A = this chain, B = another copy of it.
Amino acid sequence: MLKAAIIGSGNVAEHLAPALKKGGYKITQVYTRNRNSGKELTKKTGAVLIHSFEEISNENQIVFICVSDHSIAEVASNIPIGNYIVVHTSGSTHLDILKQYHKKCGVFYPLQTFTKGIKTDWKKIPICIEGSNKAITDKLEEIAENIGGPIYKINSKKRQQIHLAAVFANNFSNACYNMAATLLMKNKVDFKILLPLIDQTALKTHFSTPQQLQTGPARRNDQKVIKEHLTLLNEDKELANVYKQISKYIVHHHSND
């Protein structure tokens, strides 16, 4: 049975560790600076909580670094050289960051948004993998197969582009929901009025391209409604600027329709 250690106890670790366990792997150790979430994770997985990198056992075949992007290099430098493969789970971090410290390394990037307490179906999570050699890529592919959905063998450069696309699709669409929430709150309307619309907007992308699905005043280049909307946004320069910028993008990208 493959043995794995997990570094971190944030959103990715919290979701990945149980998925690995369910996939038939043994989580032996969890290292984290956060004692509370660390205890939770060891309880869930049966792993031992460790408090220094030196304790990482050479019995592990793989060590998953599940920390924020800016800490990956530091963590990698602190993990003792061992027989294990050292992988990170970040979309935007180049494999070279690990290569500096560990010859056997790779990337295991689940393309999903993880939130504490909200379940995700791993069978639907695309996993982008990259190994420092073919044997490692094969190993990561085997692990991904046992826990997740579609597998993409992707190099660091391409993964960075995919991560950027994910920022638009996830972070920025959520920011748009938040702007909508701000507007509704000012008018004392419950945000839940928008949930069916948000659901349907997402669902439609399964049937057609976003280019074809675009609707709204900017799509029709309806300057009268756009002007009315900007008048309504008069008191919120920030929202008005976002409105103008995205509307400009939509008008431009549908000018030849």
B173 & A173 in contact (Cβ 8 Å cutoff): yes
* B contact residues around A181 at 8 Å (CB): 165, 209-211
Determine the main DSSP class of A at the interface with B.
helix
Give complex CA distance A128, B164 in Å: 37
20 additional contacts (CB under 8 A) given A115-B208, A149-B196, A150-B193: A11-B215, A70-B224, A92-B217, A112-B200, A113-B201, A115-B207, A126-B193, A161-B189, A165-B189, A168-B176, A170-B215, A171-B215, A171-B219, A172-B179, A179-B249, A194-B205, A198-B202, A199-B202, A241-B245, A245-B245
Q: Indicate whether A191 sits within 8 Å of B175 (C-beta atoms), given known contacts A169-B180, A202-B202.
A: no
A214 & B246 in contact (Cβ 8 Å cutoff): no
Does chain B have a CB within 8 A of A222? yes
Q: Indicate whether A183 sits within 8 Å of B196 (C-beta atoms), given known contacts A214-B175, A225-B69.
A: no
Which segment, of A20-28, A34-42, A57-65, A226-234, faces chain B? A226-234
A238 & B242 in contact (Cβ 8 Å cutoff): no
Interface size counted on chain A using CB atoms at 8 A: 93
Partner of A195, one of B70, B172, B206, B252: B206
Interface residues of A (CB under 8 A from B): 11, 68-70, 92, 111-113, 115, 117-118, 120, 124-126, 149-150, 152, 154, 158, 160-162, 164-181, 183-184, 186-187, 189, 191, 193-211, 213-220, 222, 224-225, 228-229, 232-233, 238-239, 241-243, 245-246, 248-250, 252-253
